Chain A
Amino acid sequence: MRQSAEVVLRLQVRNHPGVMSHVCGLFARRAFNVEGILCLPVGDATRSTILLLVHDDDRLDQMILQLRKLEDVLEINRAHDAREAFATVRPFLQ
């Protein structure tokens, strides 16, 4: 497997108790490590935004296609601008 840079995925999801297990379960089943997760409700809290920090390896395109199939995932894109979100929270986690 190609050793690779990290990328951030931004997911718009329905906000309910099961959505995290759908998203994280997908990564776990395909043995794809998630390096970092940030999640907050947006707007009227019927939706959330999830930022996932992941390695950009050969399987990432397939992961994105699989994520798109999840009913609770409304939108997904690569978010180059969101890298610093993880830098900002890092002090709180160390």
Chain B
Amino acid sequence: MKRTTGAELIVRLLERQGVTAIAGIPGGCNLPLYDALRASSIRHVLARHEQGAGFIAQGMARVTGQPAVCLGTSGPGATNLLTAIADAKLDSIPLVAITGQVPRAMIGTDAFQEIDTYGLTVPITKHNFLVRSAGELLEVVPEAFRIAASGRPGPVVIDVPKDVQNEGILIDGLPLPGRPDPLPLPRAEDVARAAAMIDAAERPVLLVGAGVIAAGACAALRCIVDKAALPSAATLLGLGALPYDHPRFLGMVGMHAARSTNLALEECDLLVGLGVRFDDRAIGKAAEFCPDARIIHVDIDASELGKIKEPTLAMRADVGATLRALAAAVAPATRPAWNRRIARLRAEHPLVMRAADDPLDPYGIIRHTAAMLSPDAIVTTDVGQHQMWAAQAFPCTRPRQWLTSGGLGTMGFGLPAAIGAALAAPGRTVVCFSGDGSLLMNLQELATAVEENVDVKIVLLNNAHLGLVRQHQELFFGGRYHASRFRTEPDFAAIARGFGARAWDLGDAADPRSTLARALAAPGPVLVNVPIDAAENVYPMVAPGGANREMIGGELHAAER
């Protein structure tokens, strides 16, 4: 028997889970936990806002695929974490958030910094716990990790009252770490039927989502794509599952897809959805998506099957095992007619990136940055036009290289996620493409980046606007602009220097290319301000609620063919 406290127990259990770094902020109700952390091998990263801590943990989780941990105190600490937790829910990221709570006897009394964290996090977590005794931690902590990582991953909250952290307890051993549940395998008859449907299809397309990356199924995906010559599109979160230059890869589908990608899906007679949830930004008007196609839908979450599109064949299974079985079962094929048709669509309706040579053009800065980075670099984005330009133009080659807030679309994601990614992948550069609106939402984390001296390069596409909002007002609100232009323009380079980071401004640079190269090669956190023409829009664009075939802009002019 060994004497310990709730707080020490949490720390031991986290260590046994293999946690090596945690992001958080201390406060009254989690101080016992922080006291116990002092004696631990776990590295604590002091964020400057709990939302930053949540996204730092997300960055770690998105790069490693393992659950990552963030900490906050009760009340405002917990409410500040909510956005990052909700973001993890919508993008299926394994996150364990541990919050302090007021002592048990004070729960329900409107005590200082008391908030109903349990109630607030019910709708934005996979599961949550309010711990009622130190003994419960022996079960709750491993359970939280098991749940976060099992099946479709997601966030779990553990709310721990301060007196539970202080409670003395005698234990005679520690439980095994929580590990993911075994994965559901596909049924042999479904595999056979799916393979037959693929073999029989004349115009099949695969739609690859985040589930393929979460399942570690990209090698199996390549196998079947190559064997059966299957054109494949990706969702925003599926980017990287196939390398951008794979001959069968069609790029991103949906609201800002290349015209050829949406048109190929329009023409397909079989759609194979792999770890996708048919989000409206990806499929446009659901009733008009892939109008002529039979659908095979593979997902580990049964509630996604038939939620938006009724599949001909629904397979509730691990997409990795399914792809391996399917790759063995399908007949080798070359599909000359369909792939010729695709090649023609791509030649006639490509993604048009006119000024990609110019480093002050949106596509240009993304292409130049990519060309200067080592191939093992990681990319994060914020949310807005710059995110969509990066999704269109950044040449992703690997799963877990591309980290972006898809489901919740959270401005402020980019910088803290980049810090987390850099902490989880030491030795690799992390570039964060941000906008001047988004960066301000978690700018304070520059202090964290400098303190941890992470290799994070912020490339700021600065249009002095909430650019994507301005674009919507231009296209869908008759050009009636309101509240989308910033009337003051901060000097971001000076601000970054004020935090202790290095900074360059391509607006003042005689040779922007060489300045960019110098900035990306400099050690530690760096900000590069890139003035962008505010009138630039992301094209093509499908109007919200519209069918994917009805795209605005982005045509290749006849003279350019």
List residues of chain A with CB within 8 A of the CB of B128: 18
The answer to whether A18 and B122 have CB atoms under 8 Å apart is yes
- The docked-state distance in angstroms from the alpha carbon of A25 to that of B302 is 20
| Interchain CB contact (< 8 A) of A71 among B123, B127, B302 | B127
A69 at the interface (CB under 8 A from B): yes
The answer to whether B119 and A21 have CB atoms under 8 Å apart is yes
The answer to whether B130 and A18 have CB atoms under 8 Å apart is yes
- The docked-state distance in angstroms from the alpha carbon of A66 to that of B307 is 11
Q: A18-B130, A62-B307 are in contact. Are A68 and B122 (CB under 8 A)?
A: no
- The docked-state distance in angstroms from the alpha carbon of A70 to that of B307 is 17
- The docked-state distance in angstroms from the alpha carbon of A70 to that of B123 is 11
Tell me the smallest distance from the CB of A85 to a CB of chain B, in Å.
Answer: 27
Tell me the smallest distance from the CB of B99 to a CB of chain A, in Å.
Answer: 15
B-facing residues in A31-79 (Cβ within 8 Å):
61-62, 65-66, 68-72
The answer to whether B123 and A25 have CB atoms under 8 Å apart is yes
Q: A62-B307, A71-B127, A71-B147 are in contact. Are A22 and B122 (CB under 8 A)?
A: yes
What does the 1/0 interface line of B186-209 toward A look like (CB < 8 Å)?
000000000000000000000000
A2 at the interface (CB under 8 A from B): no
- The docked-state distance in angstroms from the alpha carbon of A62 to that of B130 is 28
- The docked-state distance in angstroms from the alpha carbon of A64 to that of B119 is 22
Tell me the smallest distance from the CB of A9 to a CB of chain B, in Å.
Answer: 15
- The docked-state distance in angstroms from the alpha carbon of A69 to that of B118 is 18
| Interchain CB contact (< 8 A) of A65 among B119, B122, B127, B303 | B303
A29 at the interface (CB under 8 A from B): yes
- The docked-state distance in angstroms from the alpha carbon of A21 to that of B117 is 13
List residues of chain B with CB within 8 A of the CB of A72: 127
List residues of chain B with CB within 8 A of the CB of A68: 302-303
Closest residue on chain A to residue B152 by CB atoms: A69
Closest residue on chain B to residue A22 by CB atoms: B122
The answer to whether A62 and B119 have CB atoms under 8 Å apart is no
Q: A18-B130, A71-B127 are in contact. Are A25 and B122 (CB under 8 A)?
A: yes
B348 at the interface (CB under 8 A from A): no
For B147, B303, B306, B307, the residue with the greatest tally of chain A CB atoms inside 10 Å of its CB is B303
- The docked-state distance in angstroms from the alpha carbon of A61 to that of B307 is 10
A-facing residues in B145-200 (Cβ within 8 Å):
147
Closest residue on chain A to residue B132 by CB atoms: A16
- The docked-state distance in angstroms from the alpha carbon of A25 to that of B147 is 20
The answer to whether B130 and A65 have CB atoms under 8 Å apart is no
Chain A facing B: main interface SS: helix
List residues of chain B with CB within 8 A of the CB of A21: 118-119, 122
- The docked-state distance in angstroms from the alpha carbon of A29 to that of B123 is 8
- The docked-state distance in angstroms from the alpha carbon of A68 to that of B151 is 13
Closest residue on chain B to residue A28 by CB atoms: B123
The answer to whether A62 and B127 have CB atoms under 8 Å apart is no
Tell me the smallest distance from the CB of A70 to a CB of chain B, in Å.
Answer: 8
B267 at the interface (CB under 8 A from A): no
List residues of chain B with CB within 8 A of the CB of A70: 127
- The docked-state distance in angstroms from the alpha carbon of A68 to that of B152 is 14
Tell me the smallest distance from the CB of B160 to a CB of chain A, in Å.
Answer: 15
List residues of chain B with CB within 8 A of the CB of A69: 126, 301, 303
List residues of chain A with CB within 8 A of the CB of B307: 62
Tell me the smallest distance from the CB of A79 to a CB of chain B, in Å.
Answer: 21
- The docked-state distance in angstroms from the alpha carbon of A68 to that of B126 is 12
- The docked-state distance in angstroms from the alpha carbon of A17 to that of B128 is 12
Closest residue on chain A to residue B302 by CB atoms: A65
- The docked-state distance in angstroms from the alpha carbon of A8 to that of B201 is 42
Closest residue on chain B to residue A66 by CB atoms: B303
- The docked-state distance in angstroms from the alpha carbon of A18 to that of B307 is 27
- The docked-state distance in angstroms from the alpha carbon of A62 to that of B554 is 38
Tell me the smallest distance from the CB of A66 to a CB of chain B, in Å.
Answer: 5
- A sample of 29 inter-chain contacts (CB < 8 A) reads A17-B130, A18-B118, A18-B122, A18-B128, A18-B130, A21-B118, A21-B119, A21-B122, A22-B122, A25-B122, A25-B123, A29-B123, A61-B306, A62-B303, A62-B306, A62-B307, A65-B302, A65-B303, A66-B303, A68-B302, A68-B303, A69-B126, A69-B301, A69-B303, A70-B127, A71-B126, A71-B127, A71-B147, A72-B127
Spell out A's residues near B (CB within 8 Å).
17-18, 21-22, 25, 29, 61-62, 65-66, 68-72
Known pairs A25-B123, A69-B303, A70-B127. 19 more at Cβ < 8 A? Answer: A17-B130, A18-B118, A18-B128, A18-B130, A21-B118, A21-B119, A21-B122, A25-B122, A29-B123, A61-B306, A62-B303, A62-B307, A65-B303, A66-B303, A68-B303, A69-B301, A71-B127, A71-B147, A72-B127
